[in-house]
Structures are given as structure tokens and as C-alpha cells.
Structure 1
């Protein structure tokens, strides 16, 4: 009976895994290059097509060692790196840095919802967004990259804004569009309807990247595939910012059980989970969803200052709380947020530089807001 209930694989989706990229947004989680190499190797042996690793926004990329380690493990052709897009000049320097690192596949990340565009680009203008997409994609293609372009917060972007943006990207020469359900908000049937609009764009190739705050990331990913998406983005154990991402093991086993998809070697999944969750410090207790310690944890000042732009529901609604958790990704903006209303009077730039050096000496222990304030309290006397 179970076999009779199976459906054929609708389009046999290809899989990209964002463990080594989206984890950088997960408060306090960082991978060492050797762990990244081991994870990338296991992902490719499992059958994952692309290993997404690191972010580049300009010269001196923080994730350079992670990117190099992944390239050495699985080759640059099996890797893809996110390039942050904020303006024409900035993306040129970011693309040059990516090329210096040997990257061959890039994902140009642009915020599509009016909410996120206002926060990150300083404007809600669709024309500006389209101009940035055209510029970034054409610059990337001119440098010889395979180009995926994203719709950050795309799931909350109205179709009369999202579809012209996606169309512009393909017309500029992009190879693939990633719809990011940055803030979990769609039901599977809504996801299916939205993807159907995107796949109708001439020359389109669509990928879906869902977050799991509502526990529907796998269901939404399968719905996207049913509608014609050709790629699904996942992470090992559902690792990722806030409520986590589409968990790889659940996605692949769902494809096997529901669609008789035998393309993947599932024997590596347990080892992958133990390696990724162990080396990241999350351990076996990691679970996605809104009641976990990490669901409302942040290490970016913009997310702490504007949590409503990133949260499916407020922390207080489920009895949880917002918190800061950071290791080596300290910035003056983050420190300023942590010290606000504390009564501590320190030079933020000097204190941040001092604390970064101290963190490096101490092996980058995890910091929260209280730890930052304790350090600031003794800084003048150090």
C-alpha cells in the first residue's frame, strides 16, 4: 500500500546545502575550516549538488579560509558563495574578491520586500532594485561567474513587485533565481502558487530556500518542487538563523519515502548531523522552531534593532526572549546596541578593537549582552 501511495519525483529537484553559509547568520555558531571541509565532503558524497559556503561583501572576506577549505575538499565547481549587493561599486569589489578566492558560482543577494529594501538599501524603489540586479548580474557574468540571484524576504514580497524583479534578473543573464522565505509566512499551497508564477517567467530556473519557524520548511520545499522549482536549499540538522532552515535529512528522506527518489546516499546523514551539530557547539539537543534558545538570538546589530523585520512572530508570544550571542563577528554597531542604556561611557571603536583582540587570544568564547557590558565596565582600567 505504501508503495502504491508514492508519487513520482516531480522534476527530481537538485539540492544545494547552505550549512556553511546560513550558519554564519546563526548567533554564536561558527565552523573551523577543517570541519567545513569534512562537512562539504560528506554533503557531496550524499549527492548534494552545490555546497553554499561563506559570504563576500568586499575585500578581506571574513569567510576566506572557509571558502578555500571547501574548495580544497570538493572543488570550486561544487561550491557557491553569497555575494552581498548594496550598490554598484560595492558589488564590483565583492565580485573581485570572490574571483580572487577562486569562486566560480555566486549568489547575488538583494532584498526584495519593501521592508528589507528600506532597511538595507535605504529605498523601497522597485526601479532601484531592478537597476542593482541588472548591474550585479551583468558584472558577475562579465567576470565569468555562474550567477544565482536571490529574493531576500521574497516570500513576503507582493507578486507585482517580485515578478518584475525576477524577470529583470533573467533578462540580465542570470542562471537561477532563489526565492528566500527569509521570514516563515507561507503555507504549502501558498508556496505552490507563488512558485508557479515564477516558473512561468521565460527562461527561468527557480530555487526555494525556506526557514522553519512554523515547522513547514520541508512541506513548503516539496510544494515548491510540485510547482516546478528545480532546486531546493537545505541545511544539515536545519541549522540556520532564528528557527532554522529546511533540514536536509528530513527533506531527503521525504523524497525517498513519498516520491521513491533513490538518487541520494542517505547513509551519510547521521554522520553529517553529528559532525555539524557537534562542531558548531549546538549538540544533539538542537531543534528548529520558535521555542529554542536560538530562535530569537542574533549577532547582527540590524536584526537586534529591527527584529520585527525578521520575525514570523514576536518572542514574547511563545514565552521566549530576544538575546545577543556572538563569538568573533563583533562590530562597533553590535557593541553600541549592547551598551545602549547601560550608563557605560566607552569609546566604542577602541573598545571593539580591544575586545576582538581579547576574543582571539581567548579562543573566541561565546558572548552575550551581559558579557559585553562586563567587559566594557573594566575596559577603561585595562
Structure 2
């Protein structure tokens, strides 16, 4: 299951500011994609209740949650919102416990127990405990925190690789350790500081984690976290999870990119404009016959169109195929010369040829 935190983690992106209208559009888009749980933001943000009511009206099977620090006053505020779950953040590495909170380990456990019991007393049935900086924590103490959270009434722990330290192999070990020692719903929050967030999140789910945090385009603090579009597409197109509507993903990503001021690379996995564009001779010819040879899924499944073009990398077979697609009759003996002309013009322009350029070139027109 996916927990999208674009409206909490994503909103922490440097320079990103989402007003209520934008937050509604993002949340609605996430519901359309089929995201299981939407983290609507953090306690202290404006209009959380309004946002929650809006989503409840348009989606009946999406869990709504908010993030709160491990403070009773904030948890009481969360209990007044029309949400399903509360995510309580608590650091578990000694560095954070001592330097950030000014506590020792026993003090942290006491504060956590008070927070969870307050949440339960105020009617919050599903409490999630986000164990921050778990990848730098003492493993035995991290397990102690998880067991303590469960004993106090928590329903889920969320293991946060806060600085993106883990690899898929170490993530596998982490999940297996917690799953073997504490019987509780387990989520992961994988940061992308070394480019492994999506891989780590997928590994966690494959190893038995129940949830993975994601955000649209992976936006968040620093280099962000695992990307919503990548996890949803992988689960839908590779694992057969029918809940996720991947055709809706590109539109959602485009909207978030615009609102957050983020440029989407043309080769971005799942939603890049050119991920199904090809001019390489062998690949272009093969794609014209059997697309599955070089495509992991159909472009239409993620709202993208295939683009085939001839250019400096094209061979005679690709040129012949392009002539056929354009409805151009050409003497086969001219194919070699035309192929050379295509390559030369493409190299001069430093790009593949447009359809009109190719048709003109095939007719013998000189293009400067």
C-alpha cells in the first residue's frame, strides 16, 4: 500500500508553496490514481479540516492522515480533524534524541507512551509512529521503541531512512528484523540522497512491509523521497495491482511540477516526454514490428505516446519504415542515398528530423 505525502513531505521542498486550491487538486489527483492513504500535511497548517472534508466527499476508500510531533497538545488538535489516522514523528537515533529533543532513551519512551495514550484517549483509533533516522539508530533500541509503541496501542510503525543511507540489501535486512521481532503494520519512508529511494521502497514492500511513503515526482526535503509515479506504475504494471490507475499519473505529475516549480526531465521514469521516443536504427525497426521487444509497458498505460523518428542513428530499415508510415513511394535503390542524407542533415541540426523535413528530403528537396 502507498502512503502519499506530497502534501506534507513534498510541501517541505525548498521554494514550494501550495495554497488550499492547489492542495485540493493534488489530493483529488492522488485519489484518482488510487493512492491508499494521503498524508494531508502537518498539524499547524491552515485548512486541514477543510481539505479532509473535501477529499472525503470525492473518495470513500482513501485513508486520510496528518503528521504531528510527539506532543500531546498537537495530538489533541489532530483528534478534532475528520481524518482516519495520525502519524506521530519521533526520532530514534541517539544523536536526534539528545541534540534535538534534549532527552535520554528512557525520556523518549516516556514521551512516546504519553503521546500514544493521549491519541487513543481522544478517539484516534489508528496511530502510526514514525521512527525517524532509524538507519543511524542503535538496532536494539529501535526494536525497543517499536515494541513499546505497539504495547502502548500503536497500529503501525514507519521506519524512516531520514538521510537516505540504506541500500536495497540493508533495507531487506531492516524489514526482516522488524517483521521477525514486532508484529505490527510496518511502513517505510525512504529518502533519495543517494538515488535509491524507489529501489529501497520496492525492496521493503517485497520483503513484507505493508506500506511505503511516496510523493509525486519524489519531491521533498533535499533530494526528496520515493516517487509516487514510479511505485504506482511498478505495482500496477509489474505486480498487477489493479487499484492504481496509471493513466492518470502523467497529468498529476505535470500539475505538481508546475505548482512546485520543478522541471521534469524528458527521460524521467514513467512520466518523461521522451521515454518512448526512439531514433536508433535497430530499435526503431524492431518497435515498428513488435513494441514489446524494447518497451517495458505500453506508452498509453501511463498517458504517453510513442515517438519514432529518423536521424543520425537511423539505418536503412528505419528509413524504409518511415517512408511507409509517411505514405511516400520511394525507389529502393535510393534508400542508401536517402539514409545518408538523413544522417547528414540530422547531424547538422543536432536532432532527429521532423516528419515534414523527412518527407521533403525523401522527395529530393535540398534542406539547409
Same fold at TM > 0.5: yes
Where 1:110 maps in the other structure, the secondary structure is strand
The answer as to 2:30 corresponding to 1:43 is yes
Q: Does the Cα contact within 8 Å between 2:10 and 2:224 map onto a contact in 1?
A: no
Q: Is 1:194 aligned to 2:166, yes or no?
A: no
Does residue 223 (structure 1) correspond to residue 203 (structure 2)? The answer is: yes
Counterpart position of 1:336: none
Structure of greater relative contact order (alpha carbons < 8 Å, 6+ residues apart):
1
Mapping of residues 177-256 of structure 1, within 5 Å: 177-256=157-236
Q: Give distance in 2, aligned partners of 1:178 and 1:219.
A: 17
Q: Does 1:82 align with 2:77?
A: no
The answer to whether structure 1 residue 265 and structure 2 residue 245 are counterparts is yes
Q: Distance in 2 between matches of 1:70 and 1:35?
A: 14
| Alignment pair present for 1:64 and 2:64 | no
Whether contact under 8 Å (1:205, 1:230) holds in the other structure is yes
Structure 2: stretches of 5+ with no match in the other structure: 269-368
1:133 match: 112
Give the C-alpha shift of residue 144 in structure 1: 1.3
What is the DSSP-based 3-state SS (H/G/I as helix, E as strand, rest coil) of the residue aligned with 2:242?
A: coil
Counterpart pick for 1:34 among 21, 32, 39: 21
1:104 CA displacement: 3.4
The 3 A distance-change label for structure 1 pair 17 and 270 is same
**How much does 1:67 deviate?**
4.8
Please report the TM-score for the alignment, with normalisation by the length of structure 2. Answer: 0.68
5 Å-filtered alignment, 1:1-382, equals: 14-56=1-43, 61=44, 63-74=45-56, 78-85=63-70, 91-123=71-103, 125-145=104-124, 146-284=126-264
How far did residue 119 of structure 1 move? 2.7
How far apart in 2 are the matches of 1:286 and 1:97? 43
Structure 1 residues 122, 172: CA separation in 2 closer, same or farther (over 3 Å shift)?
Answer: same
RMSD (CA atoms): 2.0
Q: Structure 2 CA distance, aligned partners of 1:228 and 1:131?
A: 29
Larger radius of gyration: 2
1:286 deviates by 10
- The 1-side partners of 2:3 and 2:131 are apart by 16
User: Given that residues 40 and 74 in structure 1 are in contact (C-alpha distance below 8 angstroms), is that contact kept between their aligned partners in structure 2?
Assistant: no
Report Cα offsets for 1:115-166 as digits up to 9, x if no partner: 121232113x221121111111111111111210110111221211110011
Distance 1:276 1:261 in 2: 24
